[in-house]
């Protein structure tokens, strides 16, 4: 049973106070590690392997961990997963304190952190419908984007500042502190446990529950269609997360401070986009948000790919609008998923979808690495812009095939037969 109307906002605020610090320090680590690898190797291939280490374990484990997420207490799952991430941040920090570790060691620890995130992220998203009323989920998604965006702004700037003035080890140790604070905030709140299907509770079977989660996912056709769009989007867009510093370094010929300005511009845009979503949630269709987001991201990526080397300021402005568009896709898409499935199935469904998206990311990185090495990073920006714009037009033209109305109808059928 959900928390009462008077409790859910306080619970939500407490959780996100902790998550703000955890996400902030994680953003610091993400940027500092990528910049360290960029500055010390200058190789897109090394960045490719770092990206694979960060994404692939989540993609592989995702479909399976959902079964346990739906079995276990989601609050405890998040605490244990965050503690594991903190532990391996500590180990990597010790390695860097003692000396520059070999690249395989860095990749291995990034992979283990990713495996722990495979439990944390779906458990976190699956817990939201247990806390917030259903009619507030899109607005809650906007608030989530605000928290993430604020961290995206401060994280790179603080990460490069601590990295430059101290060491990567110091950044990693701050990540440990952020995870511990997030766990403390989680320990202070009550998250209701999800109800389980009687047959699954009385006679647990991993394969039966796994199949049940997959069948629940494919029943809701608009979510399946949107998931294919998200996969295509991830293949071409997600590599940019690791290529932004390379664009600054190689195409514009600038350093870490300039790279942090780009990240800050993107993050400020995300704050603006998250605020717009929180204000206008319910006033526009979710599919309208989705199509506008994709078209704006596509156009800004495409224009970034044709900028001359003297147009760094324009690149920062385009990054701002690219960031502003991101919450308009991420927020409504996750809210639609949370509304479309029952809480006892949500961990499995979100794990499936997260895994598909994460698996698309290393596929994109595998293509991006050779392309960037051969033709330059700006070519990937231009190509991804064209593809993402076409995806936005597809969602806009698809109308009801992607709409929340069809989701409600699809979900009503299974419940009527039970």
Task: Give the CATH number, domain containing residue 120.
Answer: 1.20.1250.20
- Write the DSSP assignment of 21-71 as a string of letters: HHHHHHHHHHHHHHHHHHHHH--HHHHHHHHHHHHHHHHHHHHHHHHHHHH
pLDDT by 10s per residue, the chain, length 418? 444 556 788 888 888 888 888 888 888 887 788 778 877 777 777 877 887 787 778 778 877 888 888 888 888 888 999 899 889 888 888 888 887 777 888 888 888 888 888 888 888 888 888 887 777 777 777 777 777 767 767 777 788 888 888 878 888 888 899 889 999 999 898 888 777 665 565 667 778 888 888 888 888 889 989 999 999 998 988 888 778 888 888 888 887 788 878 877 887 888 888 888 878 877 778 888 899 999 999 999 999 999 998 999 999 999 999 989 988 898 888 888 888 888 888 888 888 888 787 777 778 878 888 888 888 888 999 999 999 999 999 999 887 787 755 444 444 344 333 3
**What is the pLDDT at residue 413?**
40
**What is the pLDDT at residue 412?**
39
Q: Can you point out the beta strands (E) in 90-225?
A: none
Residue 194 lies in a domain: no
Radius of gyration, CA atoms only, the chain: 21
Residue 197 lies in a domain: no
d(CA 61, CA 68): 11
Start-to-end CA span in the chain (Å): 20
Task: Specify the DSSP class assigned to residue 341.
Answer: S
d(CA 10, CA 103): 43
| pLDDT tens, position by position, 204-236 | 777 888 888 888 888 888 998 999 999 999 898
Residue 252 lies in a domain: yes
**Range of 318's domain?**
5-189+205-417
Residue 24 lies in a domain: yes
Residue 198 lies in a domain: no
Number of domains the chain is built from: 1
Residue 109 lies in a domain: yes
Cβ atoms 372, 244 nearer than 8 A: no
Residue 195 lies in a domain: no
Sign, CA dihedral 322-324-326-329, equals: negative
Residue 200 lies in a domain: no
């Amino acid at each position: 049973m959900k928390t009462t109307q008077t409790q859910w906002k306080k619970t939500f605020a407490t959780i996100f106070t902790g998550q703000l610090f955890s996400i902030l320090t994680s953003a610091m680590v993400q940027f500092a590690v990528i910049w360290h690898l960029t500055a010390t190797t200058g190789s897109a291939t090394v960045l490719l392997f770092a990206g694979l280490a960060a994404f692939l374990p989540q993609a592989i484990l995702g479909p399976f961990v959902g079964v346990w997420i739906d079995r276990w207490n989601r609050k405890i799952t998040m605490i244990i997963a965050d503690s594991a991430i903190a532990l391996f941040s500590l180990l990597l920090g010790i390695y860097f304190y003692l000396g520059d570790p070999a690249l395989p060691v860095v990749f291995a620890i990034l992979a283990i952190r990713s495996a722990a995130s495979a439990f944390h992220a779906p458990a976190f998203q699956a817990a939201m419908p247990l806390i917030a009323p259903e009619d507030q989920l899109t607005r809650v998604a906007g608030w989530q984007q605000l928290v993430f965006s604020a961290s995206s702004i401060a994280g790179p700037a603080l990460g490069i500042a601590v990295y430059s003035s101290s060491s990567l080890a110091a950044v990693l140790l701050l990540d440990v502190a952020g995870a511990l604070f997030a766990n403390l905030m989680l320990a202070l709140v009550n998250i209701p446990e999800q109800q389980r299907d009687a047959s699954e509770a009385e006679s647990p079977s991993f394969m039966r529950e796994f199949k049940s989660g997959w069948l629940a996912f494919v029943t809701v056709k608009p979510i399946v269609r949107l998931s294919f769009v998200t996969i295509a989007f991830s293949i071409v867009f997600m590599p940019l997360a690791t290529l932004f510093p390379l664009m600054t370094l190689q195409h514009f010929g600038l350093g870490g401070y300039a790279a942090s300005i780009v990240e800050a511009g993107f993050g400020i845009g995300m704050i603006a986009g998250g605020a717009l979503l929180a204000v206008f949630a319910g006033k526009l269709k979710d599919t309208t948000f989705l199509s506008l987001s994709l078209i704006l991201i596509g156009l800004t990526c495409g224009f970034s790919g044709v900028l001359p080397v003297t147009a760094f300021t324009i690149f920062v402005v385009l990054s701002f609008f690219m960031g502003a568009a991101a919450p308009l896709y991420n927020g409504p898409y996750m809210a639609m998923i949370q509304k479309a499935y029952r809480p006892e199935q949500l961990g499995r469904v979100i794990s499936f979808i997260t895994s598909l998206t994460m698996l698309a990311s290393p596929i994109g990185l595998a293509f991006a690495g050779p392309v960037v090495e051969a033709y330059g990073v700006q070519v990937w920006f231009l190509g991804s812009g064209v593809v993402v714009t076409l995806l936005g037009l597809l969602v806009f033209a698809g109308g009801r095939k992607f709409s929340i109305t069809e989701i409600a109808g699809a979900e009503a059928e299974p419940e009527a037969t039970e």
